[in-house]
Amino acid sequence: MTEQAQLQPLAVDAFGSRPKIVRLPDGVLLAFAPDAGPLAARRSLDHGRSWSAAAPVLSAADLPVGITGVTEALVDAAGELHLFLLEQWRPDARGEAERGGVGAYAGWRIDIWYLRSSAERTVWSAPRRLWEGYTGALNSVIQLRSGRLVLPFSCYTQRTWADRGDGLDAFTFTGSFDCVSLCSDDGGDHWALSAPLRLPTPDITYAYGACEPVVLERRDGRVWMLIRSQTGRFWESFSPDGYDWSPPRPTAIVSSDSPAGLVRLPDGRLVLLWNACQRHPYAYGGRHVLHAALSADDGRTWRGWREVARDPQRHLPPPPSGDHGTAYPFPVVTGDGAVLVCTGQGEGRTILSRLAPDYLLATRQTTDWARDLDDWSVFGTRGVALRASADSPGGLALQLRRTDRQFPAAAVWNLPLGPVGHLRLRLRRHGPVDDLVVLLTDHFSPPFDAEADLHAVFAGRLAGTEPGHPDALAIEPTPWPTAEPWCECRLRWSLPAGECVVEIGQQPVAHWPLRRRGPGVCYLRLRVDAAGPQTGAWQVAQIEADVSDSWRLEPPRHEQAGTGIL
């Protein structure tokens, strides 16, 4: 199956904003669309490829004015619907009895409301306020095998640096939000609130702390919670019942300050969706691309690390205000075994895609510019473009030339994750040009990231025609003519061995040492290391990646652990 068939962007004309989608027992997909009314939904009978017009699921007459729509929904084991809605309002605007509010944040409260169906979704309970305070979002709700309903969320606490708390909290700062869960053992009649979970933050001003958790029941019966943080990775907690939680600990899953999407397939495998992005000021790492990974062992090891969505407006500067990017993935498994993913924030950024889970098991990838530069990130750069090249495969080549002192000439490409693998590049120098910096890493950062070299798993450089770095690898002949012949460069890396062997023309010429351990290599970064504009350029005709050797033998646990640093 081709990549295009395994990852299909779908039309989203039916949705003015990101919907919440659930699958009914008969396989019909129900998408609650806030733009059409708080309790209106669209239906899909073909696994998400097309959608009906919006129609009310039930009357919204009894809902408060501030309800924005269905934020979370669950189809329980009996096929009944449980709907969770958020009410945003200002306490000080409603009267003396509510002045000051309960847990108001910046003058606002966002309460959780709830209603459920019965009699095969033909009868509905009266909507009622389930919790009051301030929660920014709902990202997950599950029913355990025991029948218990578990709704995790984060809540504002009014904690500040000046009033951090007692005990160990007095020595650090855990932000202004905690994570909790609401549990019900009687189908939603009564709910119990868990003790709060908190985690450290990297600053003492605007960091939230523990945010927007998602939960999933593991095969061993434990409930696994993944928590959004500002520390550059997810944190996790475990519970035997969804109510009593272990102290949070950091995972090995690199992430920006963004929530995860987590779903179990019918065959038991897990699919994780998240923003493995770093070193961008927005959301402590950015939300330019959304990644997906697949686990066959309940989240202990992961494969894939593939880009499955890119911000449609990433080539423009970020907006001056408001959320934007590819964050907030809400996955649902369709009746034909695909994962339907809805994600995106901001006008024009909603993305709806069908993902074939086995796409994440691919071990080979090539780029020959047949799709232009769609699978590359080159935003925030200049001098990076495709050029006609009669002697290259397909007649095109990627050209990198520093043309502007302010903007770098750099490009970023995602490949299947592998602790062991190799890359083959056909490249050449065209005219006088400085060194080409080559980085292999395990996460995304913008092409203009000035710290990318420091955070690479492997890093090196190929010598240009101009005097450059003493560690740059020379490519014969030197000096080259104005338009030199294509040269084959092969990079063979192994995290277990701790090195990347560089071959030029099939001859080993260097050993780049491992700079930082991680789950493997899933990104290639190229950058012309020039201080200012140049007349020459580096050209790349074709790139092939192969990580098959990574998955012939079981990877070392300390390199592939997804839940915790073992």
Kindly report the CATH number assigned to the domain that includes residue 530.
Answer: 2.60.120.560
pLDDT of 102: 65
pLDDT of 562: 45
Q: 177 in a domain, yes or no?
A: yes
Q: 82 in a domain, yes or no?
A: no
CA distances from 503 to 317, 457, 511 (A): 38, 18, 9
Domain termination site, one of 190, 219, 252: 252
Among 113-127, 317-331, 385-399, the least confident range = 385-399
Instruction: Assess whether 230 and 330 both reside in one domain.
Output: no
Q: 90 in a domain, yes or no?
A: no
Instruction: Assess whether 340 and 281 both reside in one domain.
Output: yes
Q: 80 in a domain, yes or no?
A: no
Q: 83 in a domain, yes or no?
A: no
DSSP assignments along 38-84, one per residue: TTEEEEESSTTSS----EESS--TTS-TTEEEEEEEEE-TTS-EEEE
Give the integer Cα–Cα distance in Å for 300 and 290. 21
> 76: exposed, middle or buried (C-beta count within 10 Å: 0-12, 13-18, 19+)?
middle
Residue 185 tokens read as 């053992």
- Map residue 514 onto helix, strand or coil: coil
Of residues 491 and 64, more confidently modeled: 491
Instruction: Assess whether 475 and 332 both reside in one domain.
Output: no
Q: 62 in a domain, yes or no?
A: no
pTM: 0.93
pLDDT of 31: 94
pLDDT of 478: 41
Q: What is the mean pLDDT of residues 31-38?
A: 83
Residue 540 tokens read as 């790349």
Place of tokens 């309903």: 149
Instruction: Assess whether 511 and 398 both reside in one domain.
Output: yes
State how far Cα 308 lies from the chain centre.
Answer: 9
Q: 79 in a domain, yes or no?
A: no
Number of domains in the chain: 3
Domain termination site, one of 361, 388, 421: 361
Place of tokens 């998408």: 31
Assign 38 a pLDDT band (cuts: 50, 70, 90).
Answer: confident
pLDDT of 558: 36
Instruction: Assess whether 357 and 385 both reside in one domain.
Output: no
Instruction: Look over the chain and give the mean of its residue pLDDT values, rounded to a whole number.
Output: 90
Assign 563 a pLDDT band (cuts: 50, 70, 90).
Answer: very low
Instruction: Assess whether 45 and 185 both reside in one domain.
Output: no
pLDDT of 69: 87
Instruction: Assess whether 46 and 142 both reside in one domain.
Output: no
Q: 32 in a domain, yes or no?
A: yes
pLDDT of 565: 28
Of residues 142 and 564, more confidently modeled: 142
Instruction: Assess whether 551 and 434 both reside in one domain.
Output: yes
Assign 177 a pLDDT band (cuts: 50, 70, 90).
Answer: very high
Give the integer Cα–Cα distance in Å for 2 and 356. 11
Which of 29-33, 65-69, 272-276 is most confident? 272-276
Assign 142 a pLDDT band (cuts: 50, 70, 90).
Answer: very high
Domain that holds residue 50: 1-57+255-361
Domain termination site, one of 252, 267, 295: 252
pLDDT of 481: 40
Instruction: Assess whether 289 and 174 both reside in one domain.
Output: no
pLDDT of 553: 59
- For the sheet containing 330-333, what is the strand order? 7-10, 351-355, 339-343, 330-333
Q: What is the mean pLDDT of residues 418-437?
A: 93
Share of the chain above pLDDT 90, in %: 72
Instruction: Assess whether 308 and 268 both reside in one domain.
Output: yes
Instruction: Assess whether 375 and 308 both reside in one domain.
Output: no
CATH number at residue 158: 2.120.10.10
Assign 566 a pLDDT band (cuts: 50, 70, 90).
Answer: very low
Instruction: Assess whether 328 and 449 both reside in one domain.
Output: no
Q: What is the mean pLDDT of residues 390-407?
A: 88
